[in-house]
Amino acid sequence: MASAPLGVAVIGTGRMGADHVRRLSTVIGGARVAAVADLDAERAKAVAGPLEGCTAHTDPAAAMAAPGVAAVLIASSGPAHEPALLEAFRRGLPVLCEKPLTPDPGGALRVLEAEARLGRRLTQVGFMRRYDTEYVRLKALLDGGSLGRALFLHCRHRNASSPSFFTTEMLIRDSVAHEVDAARWLLGQEVTAVQVLRPRPSSYAPEGLGDPQLVLCETSGGAVVDVEIFVNCGFGYEVRCEAVCERGSVSTGAGAGPVVRREGRWGGEVPQDYTERFADAYDREVQAWVDATRAGRVTGPSTWDGYAAAVVCEAGVTAQRTGGRVPVELGLERPGLYA
């Protein structure tokens, strides 16, 4: 495996999956797309067509069984992750699974238990912010201790607009899930309680969507994390994080791109979606996964991280519905496999 390109089956060829196919084929070293799978047969064929030796399937299991496949990248919709993960485990294939690991804690626990029965890690979960240059620097500063203990994380997560199928629950499960993992990773602490504050929805929010919201998280180390989630802000895609510590603060996402002065005005550009803002992070994430897999290792966010995020998000959805403070109960100790 170390001398030949890693043959990857990509499950799901929608926007994220197609972007990963492009990445594996033209950006990442040491890998090739050997098969793709999608419920839409024509879309799968269209994605596979330009790639030499790549086969198209509608069944994920068939794609995993295709000649040359040695690893799996799951980029299908969240509800399809669990069966695809369990099939990959059955075949002993390493997996990079886009978040969420599963949409619900029950599914995440089943995946966790199935991997634990194998006695070895096969899964890296796609929390790509851990590979973003600014987040990596923020993590190093917090770990270095020069700023003292972190007291607050102030987070903003804004999208220009939401897709037609987006629901109020998805604000937590699909968007704030990133902040949940980032907070756990940056602070090295678990989230212990969640509360959601809901202002009057924006007049630009689609009918029935409670957008924006403010999510408040308490952590096991005594920090407070607040997340402004606003998926119809109108102007672009913006993700920011400020850590306020005992001896200073540090922030990311201020947009240090080119500033243009012209015709009596100055300004820059705001990214319009996550594939633009986090393009480099996705590249680094997938390259790290390929390199580790070819070396016979599994690194990065684990199934435990996916499970913990699912539990926190479930509490967040309950807090959305009730308006109260909801404790987070992981229900088990972190297994030694994920120490």
**pTM for the model:** 0.94
Q: Which CATH architecture has domain 133-276+308-338?
A: 2-Layer Sandwich (3.30)
Do the two domains 6-129+280-301 and 133-276+308-338 of this chain adopt the same fold? no
From first to last of the 339 residues of the chain, give the pLDDT tens digit.
447 899 999 999 999 999 999 999 999 999 999 999 999 999 999 999 999 999 999 999 999 999 999 999 999 999 999 999 999 999 999 999 999 999 999 999 999 999 999 999 999 999 999 999 999 999 999 999 999 999 999 999 999 999 999 999 999 999 999 999 999 999 999 999 999 999 999 999 999 999 999 999 999 999 999 999 999 999 999 999 999 999 999 999 876 566 666 688 877 778 888 888 899 999 999 999 999 999 999 999 999 999 999 999 999 999 999 999 999 999 999 999 998
CA 216 to chain centre: 20
Q: DSSP state, 259? A: -
- Beta 31-37 vs 55-57: how paired, if at all? parallel
What does the block give as tokens for 36?
A: 């793709």
SS3 (DSSP) at 12? coil
Supply the pLDDT for residue 271: 83
In the chain, domain spans: 6-129+280-301, 133-276+308-338
Question: For residues 129 and 281, is the Cβ–Cβ distance under 8 A?
Answer: yes
Sign of CA dihedral 179, 182, 184, 188: negative
Q: DSSP state, 189? A: -
Q: Does domain 6-129+280-301 have CATH number 3.40.50.720?
A: yes
What does the block give as tokens for 91?
A: 């075949």
Which position has the token pair 């699909």?
174
Rounded CA-CA distance 292/216 in Å is 35
DSSP letters for 208-235? T---SEEEEEEETTS-EEEEEEETT-SS
Greatest alpha-carbon span in the chain: 65
